[in-house]
């Protein structure tokens, strides 16, 4: 009576083993395509600041407030919208008298420095140099971190992504042809991308004079990781 049960169990195990052997993972080709587009920037972001020094914190802050108010007034008169101006830093720091290393003396505060920084988006790039001149005349004495950008970045990013996918498909076809394989459908795609600014312009304690600006050209890149089936 036990023999038929043993035979049935053996047959079941063989059946399961055959099923696992047939259930092998599909053959695939994995590639990473890259694509990019170039565009001339049409806007810029810049950090503009006012730094003031006075014997007391109150005097330094009052002087800073006066110059910063003039700077904001000029930016508004130049057509910069409120949404395109954002404060990024406000600090009040004591200034200490410098002593020789061998002098054993307690630190002495001799004044205070106030810094007020604002991030500004200039959406009319043709007026960028004039805006820099104007803010310096109005009281700004720290300008740094220019970053050029394009207003239609989403559309350019989509174009770069499409180029990356085309490049990935071309790579997969070349690999399949070289290996004598038949390329199947795309099983998965994952994308990433960004843009590289052309340059950074840095300046501190600027004088009110003409400011030449070279905007250069932006490169917007994207990559696409793709997995293809092999038929």
CA distance 49 to 203: 11
Where b means 16+ CB within 10 Å and e means fewer, 65-101 reads eebbebbbebbeebebeeeebeeeeeeeeeeeeeeee
**Residue, of 4 and 193, whose pLDDT is higher:** 193
Specify the pLDDT at position 126. Answer: 85
Fold of 43-99+106-149: Alpha-Beta Plaits (3.30.70)
The per-residue pLDDT for range 13-30, each reduced to its tens digit, is: 334 444 444 566 789 999
The overall average pLDDT reported for the chain is 83
Specify the pLDDT at position 13. Answer: 39
Q: Which residues contact 189 (CB under 8 A, 6 or more apart)?
A: 165, 168, 224, 225, 226, 227
CA distance 153 to 140: 30
Residues of the chain with CATH 3.30.70.2970: 43-99+106-149
Residues of the chain with CATH 3.30.110.170: 25-41+151-231
Q: What is the pTM of this model?
A: 0.65
CATH 3.30.110.170: does it fit domain 25-41+151-231? yes
Specify the pLDDT at position 60. Answer: 97
Tell me the average pLDDT across 100-110. Answer: 80
The per-residue pLDDT for range 156-191, each reduced to its tens digit, is: 999 999 999 999 999 999 999 999 999 999 999 998
Give the 3-state secondary structure of residue 173: helix
Specify the pLDDT at position 125. Answer: 87
**CA angle (76, 81, 85) in 5-degree steps:** 90
* 224: number of Cβ within 10 Å: 24
CA distance 153 to 31: 26
8 Å CB contact between 211 and 153? no
């Amino acid at each position: 009576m036990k023999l038929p049960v043993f035979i049935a169990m053996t047959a079941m195990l063989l059946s399961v083993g055959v099923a696992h052997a047939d259930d092998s993972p599909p053959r695939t080709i994995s590639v990473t395509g890259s694509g990019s587009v170039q565009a001339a920037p049409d806007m810029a972001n810049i950090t503009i600041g006012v730094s003031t020094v006075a014997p007391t914190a109150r005097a330094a802050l009052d002087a800073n407030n006066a110059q910063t108010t003039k700077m904001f007034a000029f930016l508004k008169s130049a057509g910069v919208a409120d949404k395109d101006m954002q404060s990024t830093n406000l600090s009040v720091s004591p200034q200490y008298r410098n002593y020789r290393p061998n002098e054993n003396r307690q630190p002495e505060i001799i004044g205070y420095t106030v810094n007020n920084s604002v991030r500004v988006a200039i959406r009319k790039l043709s007026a960028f140099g004039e805006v820099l001149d104007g803010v310096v005349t109005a009281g700004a004495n720290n300008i740094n971190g220019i970053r050029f950008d394009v207003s239609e970045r989403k559309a350019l990013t989509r174009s770069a992504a499409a180029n990356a996918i085309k490049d990935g498909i071309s790579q997969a076809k070349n690999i399949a042809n070289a290996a004598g394989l038949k390329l199947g459908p795309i099983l998965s795609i994952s994308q990433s991308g960004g843009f590289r600014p052309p340059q950074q312009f840095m300046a501190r304690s600027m004088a009110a004079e003409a400011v030449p600006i070279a905007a250069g050209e932006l490169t917007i890149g994207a990559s696409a990781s793709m997995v293809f089936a092999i038929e």
